[in-house]
């Protein structure tokens, strides 16, 4: 009788194990979660977040210097130099946009740096009327990188006319003042966020090791996933491609007025996500603790494969699709939007792996709701 009972229990256990693995849900192999969160937070802060902000601050300092030169002497050479430094800073921005935590969250940093499409009517009204408050939420779509994009590429039809907008136009002085105020504000906001990280917030961040809704790991994990889902997948690809609407929007791409760098910025955003996921430093490929190491420590398996490997493979697939797109996403949408939606689909596949499987393995709750769905 005892043998029959034991046999029955073993059969039930085997059935349960099979049903658990066949539904596609990740398994952690029964590992207790004693992962060193503080080591992970330290790696994040010291090797990625702070160096990325330092690089952005340096790039914005160069942008401000080139802006000052252009405002003093608006000519083609100075315009070209200013455009170059704008793009350098914009590329670096892709590595910090996901970190909506600390002072960045308090001052709504991202909303003042990269809301697009920029609102040309608001910009023109500000220029014509003066007395604007760039920090007002009403101006979130009239500031930051997209607004500078307009001021450098879209304020007139060609380079000669753009230079005239800063020299002979009736609003030349107002145009120069607005461009100057935009860049100065971007540098000032970045300095606020960076100084907080290097003076106070860094220690607070790395010592917040609990598993609570307000702890550093939980908050930044949510920020990371939200950026991937909304900032990268939806804003850069899905919205222009018309995934969430009846028609595409070729005017809602990042860096719309430049015309030639929307793919480049999207690739930078995806590469930033993958580097951070794998624990790489901002300035190096050497790795420390991050999401990949956390999932590997937990021995998280999905469909017979390491979850971290599945996520990296999906990032790679998404990158291949983005690489195949036109440098100018507006043109891509207008000529062959199917390739845009294909890139979106590959990005979307990783949303489930991150927002469902990774979160579940790490025992973290999602603290945001995105209407786009999973």
Q: Residue 239 belongs to what domain range?
A: 212-374
193, 125: one domain = yes
- Looking at residues 127-151, what average pLDDT do you find? 98
In a domain, 339, yes or no: yes
Angle of CA points 345, 351, 353, to nearest 5°: 115
Cα-to-chain-centroid distance, residue 234:
11
In whole angstroms, what is the distance from residue 90 CA to residue 359 CA? Answer: 30
Q: Do 220 and 205 lie in a common domain?
A: no
pLDDT class of 69 with cuts at 50, 70, 90 = very high
pLDDT of residue 56: 99
Whether the pLDDT of residue 253 is over 60: the answer is: yes
- How far apart are alpha carbons 19 and 53 in whole angstroms? 47
Look at residue 22 and tell me if it is in a domain: no
Q: Is residue 362, in this structure, part of any structural domain at all?
A: yes
Residue that terminates a domain, selected from 167, 184, 209: 209
On the question of pLDDT at 123 being above 70, the answer is: yes
Give residue 20's pLDDT: 38
Residue 33 has what pLDDT? Answer: 79
If one counts the domains in the chain, the total is: 2
User: Model confidence at 282, in pLDDT bands (50, 70, 90)?
Assistant: very high
Residue 11 reports pLDDT greater than 90:
no
Of the candidates 209, 234, 263, which is a domain's last residue?
209
Binned at pLDDT 50, 70 and 90, residue 195 comes out as very high
Low-confidence winner among 28-42, 231-245, 287-301, 313-327 (lowest mean pLDDT): 28-42
Largest CA distance in the chain: 100
**Are residue 194 and residue 321 in the same domain, yes or no?**
no
By mean pLDDT, which of 28-32, 92-96, 183-187 is the weakest?
Answer: 28-32
**344 shares a domain with 218:** yes
The whole-number pLDDT of residue 87 equals: 99
pLDDT at 312 > cutoff 80: yes
Which of 2-6, 270-274, 368-372 is the least confident region? 2-6
Q: Examine the domain organization and report whether 36 and 166 are in the same domain.
A: yes
Same domain for 162 and 150? yes
337 has a pLDDT exceeding 70: yes
> Are residues 355 and 335 part of one domain?
yes
Claim to verify: residue 217 and residue 202 sit in the same structural domain: no
pLDDT one-digit tens code per residue, 353-366: 999 999 999 999 99
Q: What is residue 104's predicted lDDT score, i.e. its pLDDT?
A: 99
The answer to the question of residue 19 being in a domain is no
Look at residue 322 and tell me if it is in a domain: yes
Residues 141 and 264 in one domain: no
Looking at the fold, whether 50 and 123 belong to one and the same domain comes out as yes
Residue 204 placed within a domain: yes
Arithmetic mean of pLDDT over the chain: 93
State whether 91 and 148 are in the same domain: yes
Residue from 85, 80, 79 nearest 64 by CA: 85
pLDDT value at 15 more than 50: no
pLDDT at 132 (0 to 100): 98
Q: If pLDDT is split at 50, 70 and 90, which confidence band does 19 have?
A: very low
Asked if the structure places residue 116 within a domain, the reply is yes
Query: Which of these three, 209, 242, 266, is where a domain ends?
Result: 209
Q: pLDDT tier at 29 (50, 70, 90 boundaries)?
A: low
Averaged over 250-273, what is the pLDDT? 99
Q: Are residues 299 and 262 both part of a single domain?
A: yes
Q: What is the pLDDT of residues 206-225, one digit of tens each?
A: 999 999 999 999 999 999 99
Residue 24 falls inside a structural domain? no
| Domain CATH number, residue 52 | 1.20.1420.20
């Amino acid at each position: 009788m005892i043998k029959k009972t034991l046999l029955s229990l073993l059969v039930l256990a085997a059935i349960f194990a099979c049903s658990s693995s066949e539904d596609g849900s990740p398994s952690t192999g029964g590992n207790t979660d004693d992962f060193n969160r503080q080591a992970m937070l330290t790696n994040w802060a010291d090797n990625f977040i702070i160096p990325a902000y330092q690089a952005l601050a340096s790039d914005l300092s160069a942008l401000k210097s080139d802006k000052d030169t252009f405002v003093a002497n608006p000519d083609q050479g100075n315009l070209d130099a200013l455009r170059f430094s704008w793009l350098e800073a914009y590329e670096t921005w892709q590595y910090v946009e996901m970190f909506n935590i600390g002072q960045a969250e308090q001052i709504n940093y991202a909303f003042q740096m990269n809301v697009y499409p920029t609102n040309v009517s608001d910009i023109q009204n500000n220029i014509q009327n003066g007395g604007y408050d760039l920090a007002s939420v009403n101006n979130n779509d009239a500031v930051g990188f997209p607004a500078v994009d307009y001021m450098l590429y879209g304020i007139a039809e060609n380079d000669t006319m753009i230079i005239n907008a800063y020299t002979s136009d009736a609003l030349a002085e107002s145009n120069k003042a607005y461009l100057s105020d935009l860049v100065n504000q971007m540098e000032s906001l970045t300095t606020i966020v960076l100084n907080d990280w290097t003076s106070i917030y860094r220690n607070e961040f790395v010592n917040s090791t609990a598993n609570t809704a307000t702890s550093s790991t939980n908050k930044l994990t949510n920020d990371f996933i939200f950026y991937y889902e909304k900032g990268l997948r939806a804003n850069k690809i899905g919205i222009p491609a018309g995934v969430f609407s009846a028609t595409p929007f070729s005017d809602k791409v990042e860096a719309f007025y430049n015309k030639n760098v929307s793919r480049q910025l999207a690739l930078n955003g995806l590469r930033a996500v993958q580097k951070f996921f794998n624990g790489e430093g901002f300035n190096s490929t050497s790795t420390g603790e991050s999401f990949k190491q956390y999932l590997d420590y937990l021995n998280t398996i999905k469909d017979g494969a390491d979850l971290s490997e599945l996520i990296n493979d999906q990032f790679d697939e998404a990158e291949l699709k983005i690489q195949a797109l036109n440098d100018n996403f507006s043109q891509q949408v207008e000529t062959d939007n199917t390739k845009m939606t294909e890139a979106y689909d590959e990005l979307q596949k990783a949303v489930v792996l991150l927002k469902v499987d990774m979160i579940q393995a790490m025992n973290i709750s999602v603290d945001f709701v995105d209407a786009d769905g999973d």
